[in-house]
């Protein structure tokens, strides 16, 4: 009897592991409800765990952050992910650096995750009246900036062993995909070959675990390199930007023309 009970528990564990591979999880990785030191460039980072499962969901993240000491000071950003290549992705980071957090203050971040999935029953039984299933969830967190607080450190911030579940959303995405009828309006169709995924109504509801996301130094270096690349493309370029090859080529061409004109002038002088 004990043997069968052990086997049943083992099968249950295996089933849980297998089902876990169907779970797409989206987390707010940074910031969290903590205190940080003001910085020139402050990151806001989201992570998609088991990210390939997002391929046919057309996900979008919208977030707004408010200065709690100045209600008129707010910013909103949208991560439009329709162009993202989800194939082969394990963890995908959607992030942006902001220059609004250079002073002490208190801030609120309110973020929403929206996605669309197939209406399996309608597509199969009532295709002429079918539509996409639209889903959306919203969360909020607060953080404080103080000069005496630790500096922003994404590696340390994601090394913690416990995280509030409200920082994440788990979606049970099945292996079943369907073709979206041509008369159904769907903004994600052009990017998924008009294919959507069927999302299961999970029982029990999957529990998100944002602590499984660990940002290492290599990922931080990649994020910072991307930030620097963007800054170096702007008007107010940092002093340590690499030389623009196109600009260098232009300067070389101008120098070459100047030398040619000087040579022609010198030749004319000797011929006179």
pLDDT of residue 245: 60
My answer on whether 124 and 194 are in the same domain is yes
pLDDT of residue 253: 39
pLDDT at 3 over 70: no
Average pLDDT on 33-61 reads 96
My answer on whether 120 and 147 are in the same domain is yes
My answer on whether 271 and 156 are in the same domain is no
My answer on whether 228 and 268 are in the same domain is no
My answer on whether 221 and 259 are in the same domain is no
pLDDT of residue 20: 52
5 found inside a domain:
no
CA distance 131 to 260: 68
My answer on whether 125 and 257 are in the same domain is no
112 found inside a domain:
yes
Smallest CA-to-CA distance from 49 within 196, 224, 169 is with 169
pLDDT at 87 over 60: yes
What share of the chain in percent tops pLDDT 70? 81
My answer on whether 77 and 167 are in the same domain is yes
pLDDT of residue 197: 95
SS3 call for 118: coil
My answer on whether 196 and 269 are in the same domain is no
pLDDT at 1 over 90: no
Across-strand partners of 80? Answer: 60
Dihedral of the alpha carbons of 25, 31, 32, 34, in degrees to the nearest 10:
160
My answer on whether 206 and 140 are in the same domain is yes
78 found inside a domain:
yes
Give me the domain span that covers residue 264.
Answer: 242-272
247 or 112: whose pLDDT is higher? 112
Q: Rounded mean pLDDT of the chain?
A: 82
pLDDT band at 271 (very low <50, low <70, confident <90, very high): very low
Smallest CA-to-CA distance from 103 within 63, 155, 68, 153 is with 68
Q: Within a 10 A sphere around the Cβ of 145, how many other Cβ atoms?
A: 20
12 found inside a domain:
no
144 found inside a domain:
yes
My answer on whether 204 and 90 are in the same domain is yes
My answer on whether 208 and 260 are in the same domain is no
* Residue-wise burial string across 47-66, b where 16 or more C-beta atoms lie within 10 A, e elsewhere: bbbbbbbbbbbbbbbbbebb
Return the minimum-mean-pLDDT range out of 35-39, 41-45, 116-120, 157-161: 157-161
**Most confident of the ranges 11-20, 173-182, 205-214:** 173-182
What share of the chain in percent tops pLDDT 90? 57
My answer on whether 87 and 143 are in the same domain is yes
Number of domains in the chain: 2
90 found inside a domain:
yes
pLDDT of residue 54: 96
pLDDT of residue 13: 32
Burial of 27 (0-12, 13-18, 19+ CB in 10 A): buried
225 found inside a domain:
yes
267 or 87: whose pLDDT is higher? 87
pLDDT at 211 over 70: yes
CA distance 58 to 184: 15
2 found inside a domain:
no
């Amino acid at each position: 009897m004990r043997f069968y009970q052990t086997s049943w528990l083992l099968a249950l564990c295996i089933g849980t592991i297998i089902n876990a591979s169907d779970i797409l999880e989206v987390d707010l990785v940074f910031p969290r409800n903590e205190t940080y030191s003001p910085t020139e460039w402050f990151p806001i980072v989201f992570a998609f765990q088991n990210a390939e499962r997002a391929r046919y969901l057309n996900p979008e993240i919208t977030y707004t952050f408010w200065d709690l000491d100045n209600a008129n000071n707010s910013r909103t950003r949208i991560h439009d992910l329709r162009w993202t290549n989800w194939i082969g992705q394990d963890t995908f980071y959607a992030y942006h650096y902001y220059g609004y957090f250079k002073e002490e203050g208190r801030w609120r971040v309110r973020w929403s995750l929206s996605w669309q999935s197939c209406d399996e029953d309608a597509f199969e039984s009532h295709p002429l009246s079918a539509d996409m299933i639209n889903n959306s969830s919203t969360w909020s967190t607060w953080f404080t900036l103080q000069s005496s607080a630790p500096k922003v450190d994404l590696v340390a911030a994601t090394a913690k062993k416990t995280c509030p579940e409200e920082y994440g959303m788990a979606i049970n995405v099945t292996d079943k995909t369907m073709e979206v009828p041509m008369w159904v309006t769907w903004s994600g169709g052009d990017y998924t070959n008009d294919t959507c995924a069927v999302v299961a109504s999970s029982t029990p509801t999957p529990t998100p675990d944002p602590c499984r996301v660990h940002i290492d130094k290599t990922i931080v270096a990649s994020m910072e390199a991307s930030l620097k690349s963007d800054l170096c493309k702007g008007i107010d370029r940092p002093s340590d930007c690499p030389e623009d090859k196109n600009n260098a080529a232009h300067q070389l061409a101008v120098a070459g023309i100047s030398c040619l004109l000087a040579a022609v002038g010198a030749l004319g002088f000797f011929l006179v």
